[in-house]
A and B are shown apart, each in its own frame.
Chain A
Amino acid sequence: MKLNVFYDRENTEKTIELADNSSVKDLLKKMKINPVTVIVGIKDQIVLEDEKLKDKGNIKIISVISGG
């Protein structure tokens, strides 16, 4: 499946290809993002790492790192 993902740290929207039935964890792995450093939101609702990705859009990755 193809997903539209926004990563705030890079301020870009990306299209990511993943196997069907993938989880949030798989997505982060594919994007080479350490789960400790982000929270993931789908439609403004925080989702946990083991959650399966059903929606194809409205996925937001929010950096938790303080900016200075």
Chain B
Amino acid sequence: MKKNNCCSKNPVIKLPAGERLCKSHFTKYFEGKVFRTIRQFNLIGKKERIVAALSGGKDSLTLLHILNKLSKQNPRIKVEAITIDEGIKGYREKTLKTAKKFCKKNKIKLNLFSFKKEFGLKLDNMIDVLNEKPCTVCGILRRYLLNKKSKELGFTKLATGHNLDDECQSIMMNQFKNNMQASARLGPISGVNKNKKFVPRIKPLYLCTEKETAIYAYSNNLLDNFTECPNITESYRAEIRNMLNDFEQKFPGTKHSIINSFLQILPELKSGFKEQGLNYCNICQEPASKGKCNACRLLDKIKKVK
């Protein structure tokens, strides 16, 4: 990028190589990085109907904002949003409002589904009756709905706002818990194994750090007041996140190293676990690794105690 006066005057970021960028040059840099990621990993084809998972947080808003730009430049790429209301009091109402407002303003179709309507209970109430961590239940059922609904609605790709920090956390969590099978499902694109029951999932923000994403969101007025899910303190992920941020501060570049080394072994991981094949849940027909999918197993438990 050219050295510009604007960049030395009002920089919003200092890149690892030392270069400073102003708001408008950083916006270009960030979008360029996302478009490069899309090309490098072949995330989006010539003609697609993409649905972006929109939580209302900065990552998903940034993702949708950029995909919407892409769609305007390229009419063969259609973009809509999907939001899941898990039913988390004091948190989801706020982010839901942000999501709706954003879609209305940008004329993006929002497909909204709730745990309450689909499963009969809000997450808050499920936690009361299940002996499980909130994030476990939340994650399994949200992924289940996202996949099911995107497939039913005929989308060709499901895009999520996962950034480089999220991916690093997942890689380390799987490492610490000896769950390499879960790592084999990570990466910038997954679920493409010619399986019609899975809508391939893509992560266009894969190479953007959480901080870069926040700066982009802030600079483009996408950042709302801070809201945090009340359940997050209970999560193992939060511990891993703090550890990685401490490391990054002491040893800059740690997170990029984790991602780069992971990308090197990912093809081996994927082919290593492919042999085991994918089965289907004998209740809901969604993809599952054993007889019953995780979502149906949870829903069974809920039925029993309800």
Identity of the chain A residue whose Cβ is nearest the Cβ of B135 in the assembled complex = A68
What 5 A-B pairs come out closest when comparing CB atoms? Answer: A68-B229, A64-B214, A67-B228, A8-B226, A46-B12
Q: Does A9 contact B (CB under 8 A)?
A: yes
Tell which of B91, B214, B228 touches A62, judged by Cβ atoms closer than 8 Å.
B214
B interface residue numbers (CB < 8 A to A):
10-14, 20, 23, 55, 57-59, 88, 91, 95, 135, 166, 210-211, 213-215, 218-219, 223, 225-229, 231-232, 241, 245-246, 248-249
- How distant is the Cα of A11 from the Cα of B227 in the complex, in angstroms? 10
CB contact list, A30-64 vs B, under 8 A = 34-37, 39, 41, 45-46, 48-50, 62-64
The listed residue (A11, A37, A41, A48) touching B226 by CB distance below 8 A is A11
Contacts of B13 in A (CB 8 A): 46, 48
A65 in the interface (beta carbon within 8 A) = yes
Chain B residues with CB under 8 A of A9? 226, 228
A62–B23 alpha-carbon span in the complex (Å): 17
User: Whole-angstrom distance between the alpha carbons of A47 and B224 in the complex?
Assistant: 19
Most A CB atoms within 10 A — which of B23, B57, B214, B249? B214
- Taken residue by residue from 1 to 31, chain A's Cβ proximity to chain B (1 for < 8 Å, 0 otherwise) reads as 0000000110100000000000000000000
Interface residues of A (CB under 8 A from B): 8-9, 11, 34-37, 39, 41, 45-46, 48-50, 62-68
Expressed in whole angstroms, the Cα–Cα distance for A4 and B10 within the complex equals 22
Q: A9-B226, A46-B218, A62-B218 provided; 9 other pairs, C-beta below 8 A?
A: A36-B248, A50-B14, A63-B226, A67-B226, A67-B227, A67-B228, A68-B55, A68-B88, A68-B229
The answer to whether B228 and A64 touch across the interface, beta carbons within 8 angstroms, is: no
Q: How far is the CA of A37 from the CA of B210 in the complex (A)?
A: 8
A37 touching B245 in the complex, CB below 8 Å, given contacts A62-B226, A68-B232: yes
- The complex places the Cα of A49 from the Cα of B20 at a distance, in Å, of 12
Could you list 19 A-B pairs, sorted by A, with CB under 8 Å?
Answer: A8-B225, A11-B226, A36-B245, A39-B218, A46-B23, A48-B12, A48-B14, A48-B20, A49-B14, A50-B14, A62-B214, A65-B241, A66-B58, A67-B95, A67-B226, A67-B229, A67-B232, A68-B55, A68-B135
Q: How far is the CB of B84 from chain A (nearest CB, A)?
A: 12
Give chain B residues whose Cβ lies under 8 Å from the Cβ of A62.
214, 218, 223, 226
Q: Which residues of B contact A35 (CB under 8 A)?
A: 249
| A66 contacts across to B, CB distance below 8 A | 57-59, 166, 210
Max chain B CB contacts within 10 Å: which of A8, A36, A37, A50?
A36
CB contacts (< 8 Å) of B95 on chain A: these are 67
CA distance A9 to B226 in the complex (A): 6
- Bound-state CA distance A3–B11 (Å) is 22
Residues of B within 8 A of A64 (CB): 58, 210-211, 213-215
Specify which chain A residues have a CB less than 8 angstroms from the CB of B210 in the assembled complex: 64-66
Which residues of the other chain, A, contact B246 by a CB distance below 8 angstroms? Answer: 34
Q: Which of the listed residues A11, A45, A62, A66 has the most CB atoms from chain B within 10 Å of its own CB?
A: A66
Contact B211 A67 (CB under 8 A): no
Q: A9 to B242: give the CA distance in the assembly, Å.
A: 15
Question: A11: which B residues are within 8 A, CB to CB?
Answer: 226
CA distance A48 to B15 in the complex (A): 11
Q: Which residues of B contact A46 (CB under 8 A)?
A: 12-13, 23, 215, 218-219
